[in-house]
Amino acid sequence: NIVAVMILILCWIIPDMPGKLRDKIQREQRLVHDLIIKQELKRTRQTRAQINEDIPIHIPDPSEI
């Protein structure tokens, strides 16, 4: 039991990866996430533009009003 507790404490004290590496990985994940969001927004805007082009719009003549 004492050995197991000591191992847990040592694993908690000594991280698996350095802090700089962890920060770099998190930064890259944020960049990828932002890139995905921008691409999805661009695709959505393009899709909406195509849908709006396909929908016929009837603009009433002033005499019809």
Query: Is residue 60 situated within a structural domain?
Result: no
Query: Is residue 48 situated within a structural domain?
Result: yes
Q: How many domains does the chain have?
A: 1
Three-state secondary structure of 21-65: HHHHHHHHHHHHHHHHHHHHHHHHHHHHHHHHHHCCCCCCCHHHC
Rounded Cα–Cα distance for residues 6 and 56 (Å): 73
pLDDT value, residue 65: 58
Query: Is residue 62 situated within a structural domain?
Result: no
pLDDT value, residue 16: 79
Per-residue pLDDT of the chain (65 residues; tens, 9 = 90+): 899 999 999 988 887 788 899 999 999 999 999 999 999 999 988 888 777 676 666 666 667 65
Structure tokens at 19: 């802090």
Q: How many residues does the chain have?
A: 65
Our CA dihedral for 39, 42, 47, 51, rounded to 10 degrees, sits at: 170
Query: Is residue 5 situated within a structural domain?
Result: yes
Q: Which domain holds residue 26?
A: 1-54
